[in-house]
Amino acid sequence: MSIDLNADVGEGMASDAELIPLVSSANIACGAHAGDADTMRQAVKLCLQHGVRIGAHPGYVDPENFGRELHQLSDADLRGLIHAQLETLSAIVKAEGGSLSHVKPHGALYNQSAEDPRIATQIAYAIAAFDKKLVLIGLSGSHSLDCARTVGLRSAAEGFVERRYEDDGRLTPRSEPGAVIESRDEAVAQALAMTVHSRVQTREGKILPLLVDTLCLHGDRPDAAELARALRAALDKAGVRIEPPGRRERT
């Protein structure tokens, strides 16, 4: 059994150098919600140094709110938003001798694509038009993955290590108390349940079936590296290998 472990990086957090070697895939902020050319280049170099898959983490142009405010864009503007960020990061990756492997939308854009097929479709079209070999990472069971399949993109179903789930499979909104799991032990237990047993316990206590190909932990968490180490140790003890999405990718 294997699982991908991904982290959102390049967002100005000091932990990137410590965190990136502990994951198998990294989602690099592309300068919209966070990051700039220097942070992108630094993250890319760390990924190449440690053999970590390089992915784009595009979001709304909203650094004031870290890309977590909802926006309403036209289809053309949505595609343009994604294309511009992929183009920016891809140029840096190529200049450093690497290649992009995947795309994972950020924040509000990620959540909207999970629930709104129009937004999910435009994101998938933009990625496919840029490079159809890229893998789209999206919330397990969501429109993001359905729309990726529709346009012929490979996809990877994502589960969140330190976020609570609602009974319908959505992530608990960050505005709700307890939306983020602060306890490392609880976060590791949730990750193991998703990986080994394909299930998660929701905020209300329901056991929800959940298939995941990749686990996300957030790089802006103060103890991100410590959580990654604890998670790696627990997965190893359970006989689970950590490796980039491969056989378990959705097609």
Q: What is the 3-state secondary structure (H, E, C) of 142-168?
A: CHHHHHHHHCCCEEEEEEECCECECCC
Domains of the chain: 2-242 (3.20.20.370)
Is residue 242 scored above 80 in pLDDT? yes
Percent of the chain exceeding pLDDT 90 equals 90
CA triple 230-160-226, angle to 5 deg: 25
Is residue 167 scored above 60 in pLDDT? yes
Q: Which of 187-191, 216-220, 228-232 is the least confident region?
A: 216-220
pLDDT mean across residues, the chain: 95
Q: How many CB atoms lie within 10 A of CB 80?
A: 14
User: For residues 29, 245, 167 and 197, what is the CA-based torsion angle, rounded to 10 degrees?
Assistant: -140
pLDDT of residue 66: 87
Please check whether residue 68 is in contact with residue 109, taking contact to mean a CB–CB distance below 8 angstroms: no
d(CA 215, CA 162): 10
Q: For residue 108, which phi and psi values (nearest 5 degrees)?
A: -60, -35
pLDDT of residue 226: 96
Measure Cα distances from 109 to 26, 42, 198 in Å. 18, 24, 25
Q: Tokens in use for 217?
A: 């932990």
Burial class (CB in 10 A: 0-12, 13-18, 19+), 81: buried
pLDDT of residue 191: 98
Please check whether residue 55 is in contact with residue 245, taking contact to mean a CB–CB distance below 8 angstroms: no
pLDDT band at 250 (very low <50, low <70, confident <90, very high): very low
d(CA 154, CA 168): 24
Q: pTM of the prediction?
A: 0.94
Average pLDDT over residues 121-126: 98
- CA proximity to 47, closest of 13, 2, 93: 93
Is residue 247 scored above 70 in pLDDT? no
pLDDT band at 67 (very low <50, low <70, confident <90, very high): confident
pLDDT of residue 13: 76
Average pLDDT over residues 53-77: 94
pLDDT band at 246 (very low <50, low <70, confident <90, very high): low
d(CA 55, CA 100): 6
pLDDT of residue 221: 86
pLDDT band at 251 (very low <50, low <70, confident <90, very high): very low
d(CA 159, CA 198): 10
Average pLDDT over residues 28-46: 96
Q: Between 226 and 250, whose confidence is greater?
A: 226
- CA proximity to 35, closest of 13, 12, 61, 62: 12
Q: Does the CA dihedral 130-38-54-64 come out positive or negative? A: negative
Q: Between 146 and 249, whose confidence is greater?
A: 146
